[in-house]
Protein backbone atom coordinates (compact mmCIF):
# COMPACT_ATOMS: atom_id res chain seq x y z
CA UNK A 1 0.00 0.00 0.00
CA UNK A 2 1.33 3.39 -1.03
CA UNK A 3 0.10 6.87 -0.28
CA UNK A 4 -1.37 9.06 -3.00
CA UNK A 5 0.50 12.34 -3.33
CA UNK A 6 -1.55 14.03 -6.03
CA UNK A 7 -4.69 13.16 -7.92
CA UNK A 8 -6.86 14.15 -10.82
CA UNK A 9 -10.57 13.49 -10.44
CA UNK A 10 -12.84 13.31 -13.46
CA UNK A 11 -16.28 12.09 -14.46
CA UNK A 12 -16.28 9.64 -17.37
CA UNK A 13 -19.71 9.64 -18.97
CA UNK A 14 -19.23 6.38 -20.89
CA UNK A 15 -18.53 4.59 -17.58
CA UNK A 16 -20.95 6.74 -15.51
CA UNK A 17 -18.25 6.75 -12.84
CA UNK A 18 -15.66 9.00 -11.25
CA UNK A 19 -12.08 8.23 -12.24
CA UNK A 20 -9.22 9.12 -9.93
CA UNK A 21 -5.78 9.15 -11.50
CA UNK A 22 -3.36 9.20 -8.61
CA UNK A 23 0.36 9.82 -8.37
CA UNK A 24 2.07 7.65 -5.76
CA UNK A 25 5.16 8.41 -3.68
CA UNK A 26 7.29 6.38 -6.06
CA UNK A 27 6.15 8.45 -9.09
CA UNK A 28 3.99 5.55 -10.23
CA UNK A 29 0.38 6.15 -11.11
CA UNK A 30 -2.79 4.29 -10.30
CA UNK A 31 -6.28 4.64 -11.75
CA UNK A 32 -9.20 4.01 -9.44
CA UNK A 33 -12.89 4.07 -10.34
CA UNK A 34 -15.58 5.22 -7.89
CA UNK A 35 -19.21 4.32 -8.44
CA UNK A 36 -22.11 6.53 -7.46
CA UNK A 37 -23.26 3.79 -5.07
CA UNK A 38 -19.96 3.81 -3.18
CA UNK A 39 -19.84 7.62 -3.09
CA UNK A 40 -23.39 7.76 -1.69
CA UNK A 41 -22.12 5.71 1.24
CA UNK A 42 -18.78 7.52 1.62
CA UNK A 43 -19.76 11.18 1.37
CA UNK A 44 -21.86 11.43 4.58
CA UNK A 45 -18.85 10.21 6.59
CA UNK A 46 -16.62 12.88 5.01
CA UNK A 47 -19.20 15.59 5.76
CA UNK A 48 -19.52 14.40 9.36
CA UNK A 49 -15.73 14.48 9.91
CA UNK A 50 -15.59 18.06 8.61
CA UNK A 51 -18.52 19.08 10.80
CA UNK A 52 -16.73 17.66 13.87
CA UNK A 53 -13.82 20.02 13.15
CA UNK A 54 -16.10 22.94 14.00
CA UNK A 55 -15.97 25.81 16.48
CA UNK A 56 -18.78 25.54 19.03
CA UNK A 57 -19.23 29.35 19.15
CA UNK A 58 -20.51 29.65 15.56
CA UNK A 59 -23.62 27.92 14.20
CA UNK A 60 -22.47 24.80 12.32
CA UNK A 61 -24.21 25.64 9.02
CA UNK A 62 -22.62 29.11 8.88
CA UNK A 63 -19.17 27.91 9.87
CA UNK A 64 -19.21 25.05 7.35
CA UNK A 65 -20.41 27.37 4.60
CA UNK A 66 -17.64 29.92 5.29
CA UNK A 67 -15.01 27.19 5.49
CA UNK A 68 -16.23 25.67 2.21
CA UNK A 69 -16.17 29.09 0.48
CA UNK A 70 -12.59 29.67 1.67
CA UNK A 71 -11.45 26.24 0.47
CA UNK A 72 -13.10 26.79 -2.92
CA UNK A 73 -11.47 30.22 -3.28
CA UNK A 74 -8.03 28.69 -2.68
CA UNK A 75 -8.49 25.83 -5.16
CA UNK A 76 -5.90 26.38 -7.88
CA UNK A 77 -5.57 24.46 -11.15
CA UNK A 78 -2.68 22.02 -11.37
CA UNK A 79 -1.18 19.91 -14.10
CA UNK A 80 -3.26 16.72 -14.41
CA UNK A 81 -1.79 13.44 -13.20
CA UNK A 82 -0.75 11.59 -16.34
CA UNK A 83 -1.93 7.99 -16.51
CA UNK A 84 1.11 5.96 -17.52
CA UNK A 85 1.07 2.87 -19.71
CA UNK A 86 0.92 -0.13 -17.42
CA UNK A 87 -0.67 1.79 -14.53
CA UNK A 88 -2.80 -0.34 -12.26
CA UNK A 89 -6.50 0.30 -12.86
CA UNK A 90 -9.29 -1.01 -10.65
CA UNK A 91 -12.77 -0.44 -9.26
CA UNK A 92 -12.88 0.71 -5.65
CA UNK A 93 -15.06 -1.69 -3.67
CA UNK A 94 -14.68 -0.12 -0.22
CA UNK A 95 -13.09 2.84 1.54
CA UNK A 96 -11.73 2.53 5.07
CA UNK A 97 -11.63 5.80 7.00
CA UNK A 98 -9.07 6.57 9.70
CA UNK A 99 -9.82 9.91 11.32
CA UNK A 100 -7.57 11.79 13.70
CA UNK A 101 -7.65 15.34 14.98
CA UNK A 102 -6.06 16.95 11.87
CA UNK A 103 -6.31 14.41 9.06
CA UNK A 104 -8.75 11.97 7.56
CA UNK A 105 -7.09 9.00 5.86
CA UNK A 106 -9.08 7.22 3.17
CA UNK A 107 -7.86 3.77 2.21
CA UNK A 108 -9.36 2.82 -1.15
CA UNK A 109 -9.65 -0.97 -1.55
CA UNK A 110 -10.47 -3.19 -4.50
CA UNK A 111 -12.16 -6.56 -4.22
CA UNK A 112 -8.92 -8.20 -5.40
CA UNK A 113 -6.61 -6.73 -2.77
CA UNK A 114 -5.30 -3.48 -4.24
CA UNK A 115 -5.18 -0.64 -1.74
CA UNK A 116 -4.09 2.99 -1.89
CA UNK A 117 -4.35 5.64 0.81
CA UNK A 118 -5.12 9.34 0.61
CA UNK A 119 -4.70 11.42 3.77
CA UNK A 120 -6.23 14.89 3.72
CA UNK A 121 -6.52 17.73 6.18
CA UNK A 122 -9.78 19.70 6.31
CA UNK A 123 -9.01 22.30 3.60
CA UNK A 124 -7.77 19.85 0.93
CA UNK A 125 -10.70 17.54 1.76
CA UNK A 126 -13.12 20.44 1.26
CA UNK A 127 -11.43 21.24 -2.07
CA UNK A 128 -11.72 17.63 -3.21
CA UNK A 129 -15.39 17.59 -2.16
CA UNK A 130 -15.92 20.76 -4.21
CA UNK A 131 -14.50 18.93 -7.23
CA UNK A 132 -16.67 15.85 -6.55
CA UNK A 133 -19.73 18.11 -6.15
CA UNK A 134 -19.05 19.80 -9.50
CA UNK A 135 -18.60 16.45 -11.26
CA UNK A 136 -21.71 15.11 -9.50
CA UNK A 137 -23.77 17.89 -11.09
CA UNK A 138 -22.22 17.21 -14.50
CA UNK A 139 -23.14 13.52 -14.10
CA UNK A 140 -26.71 14.58 -13.22
CA UNK A 141 -26.72 12.27 -10.22
CA UNK A 142 -29.32 12.89 -7.46
CA UNK A 143 -28.24 15.75 -5.21
CA UNK A 144 -29.93 14.73 -1.95
CA UNK A 145 -26.65 13.54 -0.39
CA UNK A 146 -25.05 17.01 -0.39
CA UNK A 147 -25.40 19.18 2.73
CA UNK A 148 -26.70 22.73 2.31
CA UNK A 149 -23.26 24.21 3.03
CA UNK A 150 -22.00 22.68 -0.22
CA UNK A 151 -25.18 22.28 -2.28
CA UNK A 152 -26.10 25.97 -2.17
CA UNK A 153 -22.79 26.99 -3.77
CA UNK A 154 -23.93 26.71 -7.38
CA UNK A 155 -24.70 24.13 -9.98
CA UNK A 156 -23.00 22.66 -13.02
CA UNK A 157 -24.24 25.39 -15.35
CA UNK A 158 -22.60 28.02 -13.16
CA UNK A 159 -19.35 26.04 -12.98
CA UNK A 160 -19.22 25.04 -16.63
CA UNK A 161 -19.47 21.54 -17.95
CA UNK A 162 -15.96 20.43 -17.09
CA UNK A 163 -15.63 16.70 -16.64
CA UNK A 164 -12.08 16.75 -15.29
CA UNK A 165 -10.77 18.67 -12.33
CA UNK A 166 -7.63 18.38 -10.21
| 6 lies in some domain | yes
Q: Residue 49 belongs to what domain range? A: 2-160
Q: Flag whether 16 is in a domain.
A: yes
Which residue pairs from 5-10 have beta carbons closer than 8 angstroms and sit at least 24 positions apart in sequence? 6/78, 6/81, 6/166, 7/81, 7/118, 7/166, 8/80, 8/81, 8/164, 8/165, 8/166, 9/128, 9/131, 9/132, 9/135, 9/164, 9/165, 9/166, 10/135, 10/163, 10/164, 10/165
Q: Has residue 78 been placed in a domain?
A: yes
pLDDT surpassing 60 at residue 153: no
Quickly state the pLDDT bin for 56 (edges 50, 70, 90).
low
DSSP 82: P
Whether 155 shows a pLDDT value over 60: the answer reads no
Q: Could you tell me if residue 165 is inside a domain?
A: no
Residue 125 belongs to a domain: yes
Q: For residue 166, is it within any domain?
A: no
pLDDT tens track for 65-121: 656 666 666 667 777 777 767 788 999 999 999 998 899 999 999 999 999 999 999
Higher pLDDT: 157 or 152? It is: 152
Domain count, the chain: 1
Q: Is residue 46 part of a domain?
A: yes
Amino acid sequence: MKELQRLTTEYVEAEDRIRISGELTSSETVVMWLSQRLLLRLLPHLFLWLEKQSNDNIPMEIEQSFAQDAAKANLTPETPVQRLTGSQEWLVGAVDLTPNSNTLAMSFRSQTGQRETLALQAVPLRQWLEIIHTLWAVAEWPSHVWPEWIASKGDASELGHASRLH
